[in-house]
Structures are given as structure tokens and as C-alpha cells.
Structure 1
Amino acid sequence: MGRKRRQWIPYAYHHIYSRGNNRQNIFCDSTDMVEVFRLLTMIHEDTPISICAFCIMTNHYHFLLKSEEVSISKIMSIFNKRYTDYYNRRYEHVGHVFQQRFNSSPVLYPHDLLRVSKYIHRNPINTKNPMVPRMEDYPYSSYQYYKTSCPPPYPFMKPNDLSSAFAIPEENALFEYCKYVEREEV
């Protein structure tokens, strides 16, 4: 019996996440993180994708990703396979890197997009021992681009898609988004 197909809605963002096998660390240092962004950029060059929020933790990742032309199953299959190949070569590892196929769910409403992005961006401070004192200090999260208004260096990163979920003028949207994310209640 085949696997259940992942739901793909071309014009919707999807919350996509995956964890290392046995919850092991699979993003061990900055070289591994650079490889993640290199792979996403390469995928974007072949098949345009949009990511409005991401967080790469040591043993898992979260993306709010949209692909209008190619299914997210195809996109994530490429990403997970190529990262696995890289990881296995670098660490002389054999076997599974990821615990299972990626998980995903479409995010269909603006308030849900805000809620999921908040969850993603709060990952580094919502651990038992926070990884950083402030979310914008975590270098492997897109939150820093919202907080500092610094343009992201990645062509796939689309912060305006997320800030447009607020029904307020664009010049205030980033500020309001950051206020929303920094409130502790989820």
C-alpha cells in the first residue's frame, strides 16, 4: 500500500517540518546551516519557492513555504535527499538522517499564517534552556529580518507576504508583527 499523498495547495503557504532520526542533531554547525540555505537557493533557482518564515534548530527545521508550480512533496524530497547526501558525506554517516518524511499542513487564513510564523520564530527561546536571550539573536531564523528590517540575503525569502497578513498600512506591519510575536502567549 502506497503512502498517503501530501496535500498541496499551490497558492497557499504550508508549515513544513522534519526532525533528525532519533531526535539526533543533524544541523551541527554553521557549515551545515550554510548548506541548508545553499540548497534552498538552488531549489529556488530551478523552481521558484517562497519562504516567509523559517527556523533551523539543531535537530529539526520549520519552513513556511509556498510553491506555486511544483508540489511541496517534490520540493521537500529534493531538499531532504540532498541534505542527507551532504550530511552522510560530511559525517561519514550511513542510514537515515531524518526521522521520517517531512510533515506539512497548508495554512489557509491570514490569522493562521501569523500564528504558525509566531510558533516558528519562537522556537529558539521556547526550549527548556533558551538558545538565545532574544529571538532576533538566533542567526538561523528569519525573525531577524523582521525585527531589524534588514533585507534577507536569500532570494526565496519573502517577508512582505507575512507582514501583509496584518490589515494595517505596510509601514507599520513589521513593527506590529514583531510586537505580536514577542508576546509570550501563543
Structure 2
Amino acid sequence: MPHILKNGSVQLDNWLMVAEEAAEPNSLTQGQLILPIEQWLKLQPDFEGLEHTPGFWLDAGQVTDEMEVVINAAPVVAIRFTSFTDGTGFSDASLVRETFGFTGELRATGALLPDQVPYLLRCGFDAIVLSEQKDLEQALQLLSLSAESYQGSVTSPRTPFHRRTQKLS
């Protein structure tokens, strides 16, 4: 079973990300699935009575304002980065968390580097899939070395400066 970086530690990943061509209605009973968004929308009427409601994945840049209702109906939303140089997924995560108010698991997957993990977390991701176990270990090391950021984030919008000046007044 693959591993994932979640809540500050490496854990077993209980969710199976289904490829676009493999999503079928009869596969819905096979555990915790993350379906492609197109298949999720098509199969959503069949979710009632399932032990685990499937999550869905989409490529970075596919999140639109019209998706708010759909996003909030899923337990897991995965944003797949198609290139580590494309920052669209960071903006998508912030939109999903701050504007849509999504409280489920938001995971980053695809072409990611361990160095990006602190930034992914600050944008609202709480689960990150990296391709190699050694990348997960490196990401954990980076997190343990990271000092508090002087910028606000989705999880901590008030900067250290604002928190410090609030205490003084």
C-alpha cells in the first residue's frame, strides 16, 4: 500500500486514485476510491448506500466557481499537478479552502517536489502524495527545519507581525 504525507507524518494511504479509463460503476464497492471528476459526476447518483463515498481528482486549473457544490459533496478532493513548474494548483487549493469553505481532505498529487511541501500546506493541502518514499522522508525533514513563515497562509492568515503587535496593544 502506498504512503502519503498527512497531518505532519508519513501514513499509509487508504485511498486508491483511479485512472480515467478505469472508473466503472461496478468498482464503487471496492474500498475508498478517488475517481476522475468526469466519472465522479456521472456516477454520483450511485453513491447512496455505499460504505465509502468516493472522492474525486482533477487537474490543476480545472477548479471553477461553479464547482463549489460538487467539491463540498466529496470527502476527498485531489488536485493533480501536471508539471512541478505550474503553480495553478496552489491557487486552486486556496480557492477550495478559503472561498468554498471545503473541510474535507485536500490532497496534492502528480508532478511534485519535496521542496514544495511547505508551500502546499500553506495553501490548504493537508495530504500530499509524492512518488518516492525517499521524497516523503525528505519532505518531513524540510518541515521539521521550517521556521514560522512571515507570510499569512490558509491555515494561519494572521502573520507573526500581526500576532505580535496585537499582544502589544
* Relative contact order higher in (CA < 8 Å, ≥ 6 apart): 1
- TM-score class, shorter-chain normalisation, is under 0.3
TM-score calculated relative to the size of structure 1: 0.26
TM-score calculated relative to the size of structure 2: 0.27
Greater strand share, structure number: 2
- Max Rg structure: 2
